[in-house]
Amino acid sequence: MLSQYSQYSELRPDPCEPICLLTNEIADCYLVGSMITSAPSTEVQTWPIDKLVFYARNPRKNDAAVDRMCSSIREFGFKIPVLARSDGEVVDGHLRLKAARKLGIAEVPVILCDEWTEAQVKAFRLLVNRSVTWADFDEELLALELQDLNASDFDLSLTGFDPREIDGLLAIPEEEEANAAPPVPESPCPEVPPSSGNGQDSVPLATMLVQ
């Protein structure tokens, strides 16, 4: 029976003493385990779409964008989960949910946010919509991306930009090429004939320039 503990013989010279292996380490493992299990869950669940409830005071006006979101879901699928409470109230994803209902989708991915306070939920609803305005596009790099998509015959309306914006961005490389200054050609200097030795040129300079 003691053979399985032979590796601890140096730590426990008396085989009659009770075996108590690494007590502090085991306690630490339980502590770490409890911390891991108490962390907020990011599990993606699949919910019936009718179980989700729109937040009545959602300040974002997005009804005019539902058709565009429908086109996006047709192309890419419903890839971004809805954030919600376990009672079904939507935290984020109102526009995607409206489009999914219009398309007749029966189930959608959901991540629960039950660990948030009511104040955090309200703040996040504002943050997630406002944060899209924090950064600007590098228009030259954006134009290159649109050029690549255009060359592959991809529907550029699925990028989220309006046709007028797309036309303007696609014109940027052409304008830069047209406005580029052409290189200045080098004009060779005329060779001056050698002097005759009497202080006068053998050919008058004016005659040389005319020729």
Question: Is 195 a member of any domain?
Answer: no
User: Is residue 51 domain-shared with residue 129, that is, in the same domain?
Assistant: yes
pLDDT at 111: 98
Q: How much is the mean pLDDT over the chain?
A: 79
Q: The domain spanning residue 51 has which CATH number? A: 3.90.1530.10
SS3 46: strand
Res. 161: pLDDT tops 90: yes
Domain total in the chain: 3
Please indicate whether residue 149 or residue 10 has the higher confidence score (pLDDT): 149
User: What phi-psi label fits residue 7: left (phi over 0), alpha (psi between -120 and 50 degrees) or beta?
Assistant: alpha
| 44: nearest Cα among 96, 106, 111, 108 | 111
User: How many Å apart are CA 143 and CA 171, to the nearest integer?
Assistant: 8
Question: Is 191 a member of any domain?
Answer: no
Question: Is 150 a member of any domain?
Answer: yes
User: Is residue 98 domain-shared with residue 66, that is, in the same domain?
Assistant: yes
Q: Are 156 and 150 in contact (CB under 8 A)?
A: yes
Res. 23: pLDDT tops 90: no
pLDDT, tens digit, 9 for 90 and up, residues 104-125: 999 999 999 999 999 999 999 9
Q: In which domain, by residue range, is 84 found?
A: 45-133
User: Is residue 49 domain-shared with residue 128, that is, in the same domain?
Assistant: yes
pLDDT at 42: 86
Q: What is the 3-state secondary structure (H, E, C) of 129-167?
A: HHHHHCCCCCHHHHHHHHHHHHHCCCCHHHHCCCHHHHH
The stretch 62-87 carries a mean pLDDT of 98
Q: Which of 100, 133, 166 is the last residue of a domain?
A: 133
End-to-end Cα separation, the chain, in angstroms: 117
Q: What is the DSSP letter of 56?
A: T
User: How many Å apart are CA 85 and CA 115, to the nearest integer?
Assistant: 9
The stretch 192-203 carries a mean pLDDT of 55
Question: Is 209 a member of any domain?
Answer: no
User: Is residue 123 domain-shared with residue 70, that is, in the same domain?
Assistant: yes
User: Is residue 128 domain-shared with residue 51, that is, in the same domain?
Assistant: yes
User: What phi-psi label fits residue 132: left (phi over 0), alpha (psi between -120 and 50 degrees) or beta?
Assistant: alpha
pLDDT, tens digit, 9 for 90 and up, residues 53-67: 999 999 999 999 999
